[in-house]
């Protein structure tokens, strides 16, 4: 009967507009939710099969939820360095527990990037979801596989301890007086042997102190001692530890390396002569191997086997790692020179740092999470992973402003930020809700009117049925 179908159509209108009201209410309630994507009720007509000669049968209306997940919200600046927004497409990969996840555990996806460091050092957002990424190894390298979700791990910044960097390079800028007399306060120069200055049988004509840091950040000094040689423009050089007890074997008196350095008639280091042969004209070895461009000294680890001369180790009690230091004595702006002016140290420049504590965490636009220490050392911890989908609007919503993969969304694609269509990371920024209050309140009014109109259909149909019943009377 057409009147009955009209009443049922009115009921469907009430149901559909109730769904619309629910969607609008959800949007308004989440107007300040970070990364929230608005939803709406999409109406579609329901048509009943029509039988000829019996009048029209109203089918009514049906409402289905439509999610605007792909719509991007505005990024807003915050004061927290762990607040993350995505400038472009993609979702953070998150999990409900920080540890013990394997490939069978479900991952969730969100754009709610209000992450904070929890009591265990993990990055967790306001919904209690833990940020996933590719961890870095001890050298800061990232081994990621976009097709393997099991490579991801919850990013932990609290497990990063202090850091130190050993010295690997030393630049010496100094002058040796070219008119320095030979054999000043020393035995005949021809009797000089390597280690004589370390042993105290030869008094250095000049010394340069070179500060270095060991593998634990300990501060140590090396001494470069110089004695004018018997050949023109050449000097005997010994590099020793300022504290001889730091070096094994003990009989070396702290000496690490000894040899000869040659200078040109114009006062610059004569690299060409030293690169032409392994020794000078007197058969003495050069201090550094310019033939193979190996201008380094090496001190083996404390735990290494007993050294065989000319090898030396750090003392066992120090417990520090092997160290190779490259000496730059031929700097274009300075270096070691031999001019007829007083011997003087211009500068000694070394890298390496003392032990430092974690001072801050920095996250770059490519998603690299970097620990910065108060001694200037930086250490890469992880790289944030982003996931993209063929059909973003088809993702299934779950609590916590997150999403799950659905049959219609397609499988995820893991990407590094800024690559393959994924957006870049915006640190100290959060994505605002995509809810427009003016549109929602307008929709609220129209939905209310539509609901009232649908209820009026039922009232009118009821009155018509009542009239029909009165006919019998």
Q: Supply the pLDDT for residue 251.
A: 82
Strands (E), 88-232: 91-95, 108-110, 115-117, 123-125, 130-135, 153-154, 163-165, 169-175, 206-213, 219-228
pLDDT digits (tens, 9 = 90+) for 397-417: 999 899 999 999 988 899 999
pLDDT value of residue 93: 95
The CA distance from 356 to 289, in Å, is: 34
Spatial contact of 302 and 317, defined as CB atoms under 8 Å apart? yes
Judge contact between 237 and 287, C-beta under 8 A: yes
Provide the pLDDT confidence category of residue 197 given band limits of 50, 70 and 90: very high
Q: Work out the pLDDT band at 361, boundaries 50, 70, 90.
A: confident
pLDDT for position 371 = 86
Share of the chain above pLDDT 90, in %: 59
**Domain locations in the chain?**
2-68+434-472, 75-162+358-431, 164-356
Sign, CA torsion 31/34/37/41:
negative
Instruction: Read off the pLDDT of residues 218-264 as tens digits, 9 standing for 90 and up.
Output: 889 999 999 999 999 999 999 999 999 999 998 889 999 999 999 99
Total length of the chain? 473
Q: Taking the CB of residue 159, how many other CB atoms lie within 10 A of it?
A: 9
pLDDT above 70 for 473: no
Q: How confident is the model at residue 248, as a pLDDT?
A: 94
* Tens of pLDDT, residues 82-133: 999 999 999 999 999 887 665 556 789 999 999 999 988 899 999 999 999 9
Residue spans of alpha helices (H) in 134-211: 196-199
Whether the CB-CB separation of 432 and 74 falls below 8 Å is answered with: yes
pLDDT recorded at residue 90: 94
Amino acid 101: pLDDT: 62
260: closest CA among 194, 324, 204? 194
| pLDDT at residue 464 greater than cutoff 90 | no
Can you give the pLDDT at residue 114? 94
E strand or H helix that includes residue 22: helix 2-29
Query: Is residue 52 scored above 70 in pLDDT?
Result: no
Kindly tell me if the per-residue pLDDT of 207 is higher than 90.
yes
3-class DSSP state of 197: helix
Q: What is the pLDDT of residue 103?
A: 58
- Look at the domain 164-356 and name its fold: Tick-borne Encephalitis virus Glycoprotein; domain 1 (2.60.98)
Residue 442 — very low, low, confident or very high, per pLDDT cuts 50/70/90? very high
Tens of pLDDT along 119-156? 888 999 999 999 999 998 877 788 887 778 888 999 98
Q: Which residue has the higher pLDDT, 458 or 328?
A: 328
* Overall average pLDDT of the 275-279 stretch: 94
Average pLDDT, the chain: 89
Alpha-carbon span 38 to 89, nearest angstrom: 17
| Close Cβ partners of 363 (under 8 Å, ≥ 6 residues apart) | 81, 82, 84, 369, 370, 384, 425, 427
pLDDT tens profile 282-291: 999 999 999 9
């Amino acid at each position: 009967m057409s009147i009955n179908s009209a009443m049922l159509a009115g009921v469907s209108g009430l149901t559909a507009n109730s769904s619309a009201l629910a969607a609008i209410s959800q949007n308004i309630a989440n107007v300040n939710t970070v990364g929230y994507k608005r939803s709406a009720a999409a109406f579609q007509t329901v048509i009943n099969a029509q039988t000829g000669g019996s009048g029209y049968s109203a089918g009514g209306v049906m409402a289905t939820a439509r999610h605007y997940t792909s719509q991007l919200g505005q990024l807003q600046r915050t004061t927290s360095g762990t607040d993350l927004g995505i400038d472009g497409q993609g979702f953070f990969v998150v999990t409900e527990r920080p540890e013990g996840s394997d490939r069978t555990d479900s991952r969730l996806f969100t754009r709610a990037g209000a992450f904070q460091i929890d009591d265990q050092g993990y990055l967790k957002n306001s919904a209690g979801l833990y940020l996933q990424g590719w961890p870095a190894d001890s050298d800061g390298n990232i081994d990621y596989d976009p097709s393997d979700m099991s490579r991801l791990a919850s990013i932990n910044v609290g497990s990063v301890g202090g850091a130190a960097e050993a010295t690997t390079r030393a630049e010496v800028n100094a002058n040796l007086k070219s008119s320095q007399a030979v054999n000043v306060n020393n035995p005949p120069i021809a009797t000089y042997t390597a280690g004589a200055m370390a042993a105290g049988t030869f008094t250095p004509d000049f010394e340069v102190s070179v500060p270095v840091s060991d593998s634990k950040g300990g501060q140590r000094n090396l001494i470069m001692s110089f004695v004018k040689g018997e050949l023109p423009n050449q000097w005997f050089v010994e590099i020793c530890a300022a504290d001889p007890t730091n070096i094994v074997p003990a009989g070396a008196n702290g000496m690490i390396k000894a040899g000869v350095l040659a200078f040109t008639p114009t006062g610059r280091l004569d690299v060409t002569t030293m690169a032409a042969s392994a020794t000078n004209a007197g058969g003495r070895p050069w201090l550094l191997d310019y033939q193979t461009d190996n201008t380094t000294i090496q001190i083996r680890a404390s735990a290494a086997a007993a050294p065989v001369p000319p090898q030396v180790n750090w003392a066992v009690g120090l417990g520090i790692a092997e160290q190779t230091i490259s000496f730059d004595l031929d700097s274009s702006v300075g270096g070691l020179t031999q001019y007829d002016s007083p011997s003087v140290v211009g500068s000694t420049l070394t890298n390496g740092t003392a032990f430092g504590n974690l001072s801050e965490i920095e996250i770059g636009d490519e998603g690299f999470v970097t620990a910065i220490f108060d001694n200037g050392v930086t250490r890469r911890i992880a790289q944030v992973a982003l996931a993209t989908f063929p059909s973003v609007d088809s993702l299934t919503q779950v609590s916590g402003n997150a999403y799950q993969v659905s049959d219609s969304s397609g499988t995820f694609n893991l990407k590094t930020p800024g690559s393959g269509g994924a957006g870049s990371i915006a640190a100290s920024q959060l994505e605002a809700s995509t809810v427009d209050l003016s549109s929602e309140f307008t929709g609220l009014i129209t939905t209310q009117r539509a609901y009232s109109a649908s209820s009026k259909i039922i009232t009118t149909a009821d009155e018509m049925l009542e009239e029909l019943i009165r006919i019998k009377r």
